[in-house]
């Protein structure tokens, strides 16, 4: 490498160094560290948003980062650091957790920047291995069983992914998915279909969702948020944007078959997630089924054409959905951490009357997940569904929208236990702490920031869409 190339790489190296430092230093306790982390967070954000690199960083042919992708990675890093600030030290396995998250983040960076399937596959496997490890590290009784289940299913789908990639190579003559020419349409459409099924597994869409409720309910609470964020936000975004691209290169006649398949899986995921979520009592399982339903809403994006920045809108959906879900998970973690660690609705009984601030924030996040107006959950859905109607998927979009009503059933349960239970139960978090949930200024600020983002996404979405 010449000196010029190192200079070219410099921003990314600085960027990665900053991230690694901020995450790896988290477990070490000393005064003023929280302040240092806040400075780091701001530095990461400022650095990435001040960068305006056009056209792109081209490290090699297989890894290209443009300004847009760097911003995406920054947002992701930002939230990963926040999660660790809030949860990292609550666990005994701080160092392991930090390392796992750092590797997941690195995998994510490569996944987002990948332009061809070998890098994409390796980055995805790095993330998946860290995911498996996170589950095994848990103290939960069923953790090992879940981890093995997850690992076996993950390995099968990795094998399928390799098959899809090899078909892709056979039909295009290369691994590059940003610039290619289809030589054999039949083989190509099979490869896209296989890759789509792998994406369904990774995003936990119906009927490949079986791993998700188990993993979510068994992973340590300190790891749940980062696990969720990476698997949903990064893998979801990267996979969907790649498949959107691939589908658009398919022959229109064959494309139609694929679109029907996607529509069926989307609608089924939305209905299944919302309906099974109704029967759940555990928070983490509710989050799992809620994310299954959301995967259904998002998968329909694959049926849209490449016009008019749909990809950007998909990312907007994913980012704001992740913010609401992360906020919910973080607050629930706090409740479980301070209470008797019972993961049921009961822990929230009458909570509003002991800690109005935290309960209001939790309400906001849950209402956003439910898609109520004035929250980001509504605008993201509005945008996505307008696109579906614009492209003529009227019936399917209406069906998926109707499924959201079923989902409301379990989101509303949060409100019922928070506000309407007169007697605080023996299991309630409030009994064991006897006080407020968010005591530290740091905790309050971070949760407020997430809440503000949810509101801003609901009131002024165009600020972010630009």
> Residues in the site for other proteins, rule: CB under 8 A?
352-353, 367, 372-374, 379, 382-383, 385-387, 389-390, 394, 397-398, 401-402, 404-405, 408-409, 412, 415-416, 419-420, 459-463
**Short-list 124, 44, 116, 140, CA closest to 84:** 44
- What is the chain's Cα-based Rg? 22
CB of 337 to other proteins, least distance (A): 27
- What is the DSSP pairing of strand 63-66 with strand 56-60? antiparallel
- The smaller minimum CB distance to other proteins, of residues 402 and 445, is found at 402
Q: Do the Cβ atoms of 203 and 298 come closer than 8 Å? A: yes
- The smaller minimum CB distance to other proteins, of residues 327 and 461, is found at 461
- Cβ within 8 Å of residue 223, ≥6 positions away: 87, 91, 97, 100, 101, 134, 137, 138
Q: Do the Cβ atoms of 48 and 16 come closer than 8 Å? A: no
Q: Do the Cβ atoms of 269 and 399 come closer than 8 Å? A: no
- The smaller minimum CB distance to other proteins, of residues 243 and 314, is found at 314
- The smaller minimum CB distance to other proteins, of residues 10 and 386, is found at 386
- The smaller minimum CB distance to other proteins, of residues 74 and 379, is found at 379
CB of 383 to other proteins, least distance (A): 8
CB of 305 to other proteins, least distance (A): 14
Calculate the dihedral angle through the C-alpha atoms of 218, 407, 86, 426, rounding to the nearest 10 degrees.
-70
**Short-list 257, 449, 445, CA closest to 364:** 449
Longest Cα–Cα distance of the chain, Å, equals 71
CB of 413 to other proteins, least distance (A): 8
CA distance 137 to 143: 8
CB of 408 to other proteins, least distance (A): 5
Q: Do the Cβ atoms of 402 and 339 come closer than 8 Å? A: no
- The smaller minimum CB distance to other proteins, of residues 172 and 428, is found at 428
> Residue 392 in 3-state DSSP?
coil
The half-sphere exposure of 318 on its side-chain side, counting CA atoms within 13 A, is: 29
CB of 81 to other proteins, least distance (A): 27
CB of 416 to other proteins, least distance (A): 6
Report phi then psi at 303, rounded to 5. -85, -10
- The smaller minimum CB distance to other proteins, of residues 92 and 390, is found at 390
> Residue 57 in 3-state DSSP?
strand
Output DSSP code: residue 347.
G
- Cβ within 8 Å of residue 96, ≥6 positions away: 137
- The smaller minimum CB distance to other proteins, of residues 163 and 399, is found at 399
Q: Do the Cβ atoms of 169 and 175 come closer than 8 Å? A: yes
CB of 453 to other proteins, least distance (A): 14
- The smaller minimum CB distance to other proteins, of residues 358 and 404, is found at 404
Residue in the block written with tokens 């691939």: 246
CB of 372 to other proteins, least distance (A): 6
CA distance 18 to 43: 9
CB of 456 to other proteins, least distance (A): 9
CB of 87 to other proteins, least distance (A): 29
- Cβ within 8 Å of residue 328, ≥6 positions away: 287, 362, 365, 366, 369
Calculate the dihedral angle through the C-alpha atoms of 265, 270, 276, 281, rounding to the nearest 10 degrees.
140
- The smaller minimum CB distance to other proteins, of residues 152 and 405, is found at 405
CB of 303 to other proteins, least distance (A): 15
Q: Do the Cβ atoms of 230 and 186 come closer than 8 Å? A: no
- The smaller minimum CB distance to other proteins, of residues 5 and 390, is found at 390
Tokens of 336: 């479980």
- The smaller minimum CB distance to other proteins, of residues 196 and 352, is found at 352
């Amino acid at each position: 490498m010449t000196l010029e190339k190192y200079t070219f790489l410099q921003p990314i190296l600085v960027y990665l160094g900053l991230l690694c430092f901020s995450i790896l230093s988290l477990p070490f306790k000393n005064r003023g560290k929280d302040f240092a982390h806040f400075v780091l967070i701001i530095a990461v954000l400022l650095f990435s948003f001040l960068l305006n690199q056009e056209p792109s960083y081209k490290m090699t042919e297989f890894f290209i980062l443009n300004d847009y992708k760097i911003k995406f990675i920054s947002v992701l890093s930002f939230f990963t650091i926040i999660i660790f600030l809030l949860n990292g030290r609550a666990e005994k396995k701080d160092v392991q957790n930090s390392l796992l998250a750092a590797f997941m983040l690195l995998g994510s960076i490569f996944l987002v920047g990948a332009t061809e399937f070998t890098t994409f596959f390796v980055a995805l496997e790095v993330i998946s291995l860290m995911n498996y490890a996170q589950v095994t590290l848990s103290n939960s009784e069923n953790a090992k069983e879940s981890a093995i289940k997850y690992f076996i299913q993950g390995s099968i789908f990795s094998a399928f992914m390799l098959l899809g990639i090899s078909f892709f190579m056979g039909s295009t003559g290369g691994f590059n998915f940003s610039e290619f020419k289809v030589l054999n349409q039949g083989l190509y459409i099979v490869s896209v279909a296989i890759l789509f099924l792998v994406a369904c597994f990774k995003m936990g869409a119906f009927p490949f969702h079986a791993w998700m409720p188990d993993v979510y309910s068994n992973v340590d609470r300190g790891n749940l948020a980062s696990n969720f964020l990476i698997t949903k936000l990064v893998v979801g975004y990267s996979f969907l944007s790649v498949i959107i691209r691939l589908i658009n290169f398919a022959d229109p006649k064959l494309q139609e078959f694929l679109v029907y398949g996607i529509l069926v899986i989307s609608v089924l995921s939305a209905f299944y997630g919302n309906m099974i979520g109704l029967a759940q009592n555990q928070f983490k399982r509710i989050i799992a089924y809620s994310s299954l339903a959301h995967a259904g809403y998002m998968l329909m994006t694959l049926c849209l054409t490449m016009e008019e920045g749909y990809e950007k809108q998909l990312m907007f959906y994913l980012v704001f959905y992740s913010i609401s879900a992360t906020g919910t998970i973080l607050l629930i973690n706090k409740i479980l951490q301070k209470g008797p660690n019972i993961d049921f609705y009961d822990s929230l009984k009458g909570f509003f009357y002991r800690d109005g601030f935290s309960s209001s924030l939790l309400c906001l996040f849950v209402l956003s997940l439910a898609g109520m107006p004035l929250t980001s959950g509504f605008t993201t859905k509005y945008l996505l569904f307008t696109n579906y109607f614009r492209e003529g998927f009227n019936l399917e979009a209406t069906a998926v929208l109707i499924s959201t009503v079923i989902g409301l059933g379990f989101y509303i349960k949060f409100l019922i236990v928070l506000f309407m239970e007169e007697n605080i139960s023996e299991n309630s978090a409030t009994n064991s702490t006897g006080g407020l949930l968010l005591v530290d200024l740091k905790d309050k600020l971070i949760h407020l920031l997430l809440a503000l983002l949810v509101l801003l996404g609901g009131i002024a979405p165009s600020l972010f869409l630009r």
